[in-house]
Structure 1
Amino acid sequence: MMKKALEITPNLEPLFGTRDENLRLMEDSLHVRIDLKSDAVQVEGPQESLARVERIFADYEHLRRNGVNLQNGELHGMLKLVVCDPAVTLRSLVESGKQRSAGIKRMVQPRSLNQRHYVEAIEQTDMVFGIGPAGTGKTYLAVAMAAAALLAKKVSRIVLVRPAVEAGERLGFLPGSLQEKVDPYLRPLYDALYDLLEPERVDKMLERNVIEVAPLAFMRGRTLNDAFIIMDEAQNTTSEQMKMFLTRLGNNAKAVITGDVTQIDLPNPRKSGLIEAMNILDGVDGIRFIRFEDGDVVRHHLVQRIIRAYDSFGRGQQELPLTLPESDQKRAPSKPQ
């Protein structure tokens, strides 16, 4: 065990996080003890861990001096990656994020280990499935990677697809053109685009069909060349729709399929094309499956707790006996003849 005092300045205080959550993360993950003094941070622990904490402080200061100001949620996510892997540093994450995000308003930066695997899989593989609960960044990261590929001229267009299935509601007959009727189903994809690119630029690309947003039914019979294709809410596809979509891939095309198997809105959830594809395509060369967990949620911290509560409730329901125990059966009133 060794001790080291790291000098701090007011500019370093954002590194500590809300209620010092980033310091607690370093303590728990790197097995060190961190004490805040008036003009220094006292760190105690194994030599290797001390060196890693010191590197985090030095990298943060270097980035700040070079005009990189990380938001707290973004910084906390990056630190989770840094403490998990000794080969990863704050500086390397920011540099790779900058390269990935040329021309985009926001830096495309994974905030969890699974998000990092997801981004790397999209970069290295032509077809990737991102499967997991709401709020884990599946769609947002996919749209960000698509926008980056388009701006880097790796593809000539983006195709964003969603099955038009109502989420437990009856929307009835919507007024307007066909595009106006399906737009409500595709709104999350538009939201991601406008968050990543200038609105005027998005509108021009949509006008020129450089970015196409369409319901899944419009994909039948097409071959999509030189394109980055994303299908969102894939859990709401039928078996036939999923096979149809997966076979649209043309030359120099990349596909990302996202979905959450706990939110199936089909009349028969067992017929989900996503679940079938997970079984049929697992192990197929050139296809990657990235599974997200509640720990990957990057929305409000309550979302993570809500997902865990629903998972626990679901498991409890599955464990309930299908028939009453004998003692209860004796007490249960008999059915009228």
Structure 2
Amino acid sequence: MAEEIIHFNNRREAQDLTAGGPEFLRLIAGAFDIRITARDMWVKLSGPDERVQQAAEFFRILRDIRERGARLGEHGLRYALRAYQQGKGEELRQLYSVRIDVAPGRPPIFPRTFGQRDYVRAIMTRDITFGIGPAGTGKTYLAMAMAVSYLLKGDVSRIILTRPAIEAGEALGYLPGDMYQKVFPYLRPLYDALYDMMSPDDIERNMDRGVIEVAPLAYMRGRTLNHAFVILDEAQNTTSEQMLMFLTRLGFDSRCVITGDLTQVDLPPSKASGLVEARRILSNIQGIAFAELTDADVVRHSLVQKVIQAYREDRLQTRGRTPARPTDTLEPTA
């Protein structure tokens, strides 16, 4: 039998590394088959020597991640534990080496899963990136973080956010108000992400100057977007013609991210999704990346992942097929 004591530097660190309560410590104890005794500023690991060493290494990895500025929270800690149990300790340590700095005074943003890391790396290295995956996988949020980071570093001179306003059939002219008032309800998710990364005053000032522009997809026609970071959200609801129109707007020194969820296509049955077509036609073009996120990358409430999986299984059973899990999915361990 062996023992090792992990000392915390302060109460905040203790809270961050234990998810703020005994439940996560019990989860760790069960995962490594050891006993954990907890006090305010330390935890004692007791059990077989090899298992105690593994648990201690896991805590050291968590501390390294925290020192990089990341705050894992309960979801992140559980994800980290599953990853470590599956032999991905070093990969887990490197996951949080990808850091996105946004506006001063706002915390840095990190990819929270291996799929999100690959998505962010694709945005960094490709001029056009497609982020495809279910709700809650951070497609729009991470794209927005990258856009703000590029703007503040001077890599682009403006951010352009667009989305097909399919709920209004993109015929927005009859709606009251100016452009902002017309499109706000349809583009609210983009604003929500933006307000996490910049102050309201900075957002308003940049929108007044045209540095940040938000518009429905139909208003992109006929333009050339130079030195811009362009995000097309909800791309599964573009038609083939709209997708081609949008992709051909890209100008010099620009970067483009297209996000979508192929399970939430709201187009009429007679209309093919431009996102589906783009994935088929463009997947082999150099300079274009397709980042496929799965339910393993969901970072919302833990029930969201279960809801997505349950609906997927039901749909596949309805079609008479057995659901297959993605090969890159982190499976929960007992």
The TM-score normalised by the length of structure 2 is: 0.81
Does structure 1 conserve the Cα–Cα contact (< 8 Å) formed by 2:175 and 2:182? yes
Change (3 A) 1:148 1:66: closer
For these two proteins, the number of residue pairs brought into alignment is: 311
SS in 2 for 1:248: coil
State the match for 1:331 in structure 2: none
Cα deviation, 1:210-256, whole Å, max 9, x if unaligned, reads 01111111111111111111000000000010011111111111110
User: How far apart are 1:298 and its partner, in Å?
Assistant: 1.0
Trace 1:1-337 onto structure 2 (pairs within 5 A).
3-9=2-8, 11-12=13-14, 14-17=16-19, 19-21=22-24, 24=27, 28=31, 32-37=32-37, 40-42=44-46, 44=48, 46=50, 53-58=55-60, 60-61=62-63, 70-77=72-79, 85-88=88-91, 90=93, 96-97=98-99, 100-101=101-102, 103=104, 105-166=106-167, 174-268=175-269, 271-319=272-320
SS in 2 for 1:87: helix
Cα deviation, 1:144-184, whole Å, max 9, x if unaligned, reads 1100111111111111110110199x999532224322221
Change (3 A) 1:35 1:151: same
Instruction: Name the amino acid aligned to 2:34.
Output: I
Measure the CA separation in 1 of the matches of 2:295 and 2:91: 23
Change (3 A) 1:209 1:35: same
Instruction: Name the amino acid aligned to 1:37.
Output: T
Measure the CA separation in 1 of the matches of 2:67 and 2:161: 39
Change (3 A) 1:52 1:307: same
SS in 2 for 1:307: helix
User: How far apart are 1:319 and its partner, in Å?
Assistant: 2.1
Identity rate, percent: 45
User: Greater CA deviation, 132-141 or 299-308?
Assistant: 299-308
Change (3 A) 1:257 1:121: same
What residue ranges of structure 2 are gaps of 5+ in the alignment?
322-334
Instruction: Name the amino acid aligned to 2:262.
Output: V
SS in 1 for 2:34: strand
Measure the CA separation in 2 of the matches of 1:50 and 1:154: 47
Measure the CA separation in 2 of the matches of 1:69 and 1:268: 43
Cα deviation, 1:11-69, whole Å, max 9, x if unaligned, reads 535423355447746975xxx433203551136475xx866643443355577789876
Measure the CA separation in 2 of the matches of 1:66 and 1:125: 26
Measure the CA separation in 2 of the matches of 1:313 and 1:202: 42
State the match for 2:325 in structure 1: none
Measure the CA separation in 2 of the matches of 1:179 and 1:303: 31
Change (3 A) 1:67 1:247: closer
Change (3 A) 1:93 1:104: farther
Change (3 A) 1:67 1:173: closer
Instruction: Name the amino acid aligned to 1:42.
Output: S
Instruction: Name the amino acid aligned to 1:159.
Output: I
Change (3 A) 1:124 1:172: closer
Does structure 2 conserve the Cα–Cα contact (< 8 Å) formed by 1:81 and 1:112? no
Cα deviation, 1:112-165, whole Å, max 9, x if unaligned, reads 110111111111111111111111110001001100111111111111110110
Measure the CA separation in 1 of the matches of 2:23 and 2:264: 35
User: How far apart are 1:85 and its partner, in Å?
Assistant: 3.4
Larger of the two Rg values belongs to structure: 1
Cα deviation, 1:93-119, whole Å, max 9, x if unaligned, reads 55542x644636132111111011111
What residue ranges of structure 1 are gaps of 5+ in the alignment?
321-337
Does structure 1 conserve the Cα–Cα contact (< 8 Å) formed by 2:34 and 2:52? no
SS in 2 for 1:194: helix
